[in-house]
Amino acid sequence: MTTLALFDLDHTLIPFDSDYEWGQFLVQLGVVDGDQYAQANQQFYEDYQHGKLDIDRFLRFALKPLSQHSRVQLKEWHDQFMTDVIDKKLNSAAITLVLRHLKAGDVCCVVTATNSFVTRPIVARFGIHHLVATEPATEGNRDDGRYTGEVNGIPSFREGKVKRVEKWLQSLDLSWETVEKSYFYSDSMNDIALLEKVSNPVATNPDSKLRAEAQKRNWPILELFT
């Protein structure tokens, strides 16, 4: 039987929000309207933390810069983003957690609302090959076509995470019924739908709302960043 290990990314495996940091990085590069973009980026981040994010409005904001530049240029910037921002903040306890599941032979997947352009290279740093993320739409070939600024399919957010995970499981000829054990590590109350779906929910570096919910339900609480 298969054991499934699902991980949220932002504030779960990494001690920050990769979507927010990418936005701030674009401001530093000078490729977006600095003050206005930074202010909007901050507001969307606070809305997410307070559980009131308008996901469609946010994605129009977050994906627009991808549509304004070539894939070659975007990759160059993202490589710099990995070096200047991400690699300096990777956490050894989080890496150890993932390695434990990988060494056990578990099917590991990061499930994140942040788009796959931003997150795929970060997830690769953990040695995880499976990623369920919000997918930016492209013109032509998905792998090298220019980004349109729109979303391809259902955003991987709240209940959408459950739907996207179930579709991913089907692609592996798996289902909740055929998985012996399933874990989901998350920090956010926004992920309650998927936490309720797995057999082993783990509140990981939880926000105050999720911490209270985990204590109420006797879910384990894991602190990776203390």
Write the CB contacts of 115 (distance below 8 Å, at least 6 apart in sequence).
19, 59, 62, 63, 66, 133, 134, 135, 136
Give the helix/strand (H/E) hosting 132: strand 130-138
Choosing from 10, 17, 187, 191, the catalytic residue is 10
Mark whether 191 is an active-site residue: no
Tokens representing residue 168 in the block: 């991913």
d(CA 151, CA 154): 8
Choosing from 8, 17, 19, 191, the catalytic residue is 8
Mark whether 35 is an active-site residue: no
Q: DSSP per residue over 186-212, as a string? A: ES-GGGHHHHHHSSEEEEES--HHHHH
Tokens representing residue 172 in the block: 């592996």
Catalytic residue IDs: 8, 10
